[in-house]
Amino acid sequence: MENAAIDAAALAGSAPPSDLTIIGLFLQADIVVKIVILILVLASFWTWAIIFDKVIRIRRLTSLADKFEESFWSGGSLEELFDRISNRPPDPMSAIFVAAMREWRRSAAKGLLGTDQLRTNLQDRIERVMDITLGREMEQLERHLIYLASVGSSAPFIGLFGTVWGIMNSFASIAAAKNTTLAVVAPGIAEALFATALGLVAAIPAVLAYNKLSGDISRYGHRLEAFSGEFGAILSRQLEEKR
């Protein structure tokens, strides 16, 4: 009996050591778990790329909007400002201004300011042009935000799938080896939990970034809408003076 106990202990102690480092867990994992890990790593990498791109872009556009508004409200000629930036508007606010001024100039060049009806039609066209430009610019700015929301909601479940699959393999290994020692169970459980951890690593930054960037973009959109309304009012007063 004593010899049997010694043999069992020796068998448990002679189990090959497992590499529980991150790379070791990946290399020892089942092919399905490896695919899950690769998907989550790529998702996390692309998430951070989008985050850095959006943060830098929003800061740059905010700075450009500050500079444009400073020039716009400085009291200088709007015609000169249009001539200076019309070829390549550097930011969405400038693009809205250029679109409205271009429509104004085209109508004036065609003599479409002669009657009250024509002036009313021009005002409607200018408002539509500014709305279309604003929508197009906001669509560009909001691009890829849906990806962050998708990663934030799906990555934990993808990691959970890898965990469930890894645990299933662990129980299969236990049944095949007929040995329930920690040396047999631990590697498979560690691989499974590693997939869950990666799912959370991918999801948490994506959710936080989505909420933060959505708020920043929404505030920037309200700023564009406010400028569009103010500029529309200025052009409306100009049309009233021509009556």
Domain that holds residue 172: 24-242
In-domain check, residue 8: no
Least-confidence region, from 178-187, 196-205, 228-237: 178-187
Model pTM above 0.85? no
Q: What's the mean pLDDT in 67-73?
A: 91
In-domain check, residue 127: yes
- What is the gyration radius of the CA atoms in the chain, in angstroms? 31
* Alpha-helix residue ranges (DSSP H) falling in 73-91: 78-85
Look at the chain and report how many structural domains it folds into. Answer: 1
In-domain check, residue 4: no
Q: Is the pLDDT of residue 174 over 80?
A: no
In-domain check, residue 18: no
In-domain check, residue 6: no
In which residue are the tokens 């960037």 written? 213
Contact 130/232 with Cβ under 8 angstroms?
A: yes
Using CB atoms within 10 Å of the CB of residue 187, give its burial: 0 to 12 exposed, 13 to 18 middle, 19+ buried.
buried
42's tokens: 């790529």
CA distance 41 to 199: 9
In-domain check, residue 13: no
Which region, left, alpha or beta, applies to residue 17 given φ > 0 means left and ψ of -120 to 50 means alpha? beta
pLDDT score recorded for residue 16: 46
CA distance 121 to 242: 14
Contact 158/166 with Cβ under 8 angstroms?
A: no
Least-confidence region, from 17-21, 126-130, 205-209: 17-21
CA distance 198 to 148: 16
In-domain check, residue 12: no
In-domain check, residue 129: yes
Q: Is the pLDDT of residue 1 over 60?
A: no
Q: What's the mean pLDDT in 101-115?
A: 75
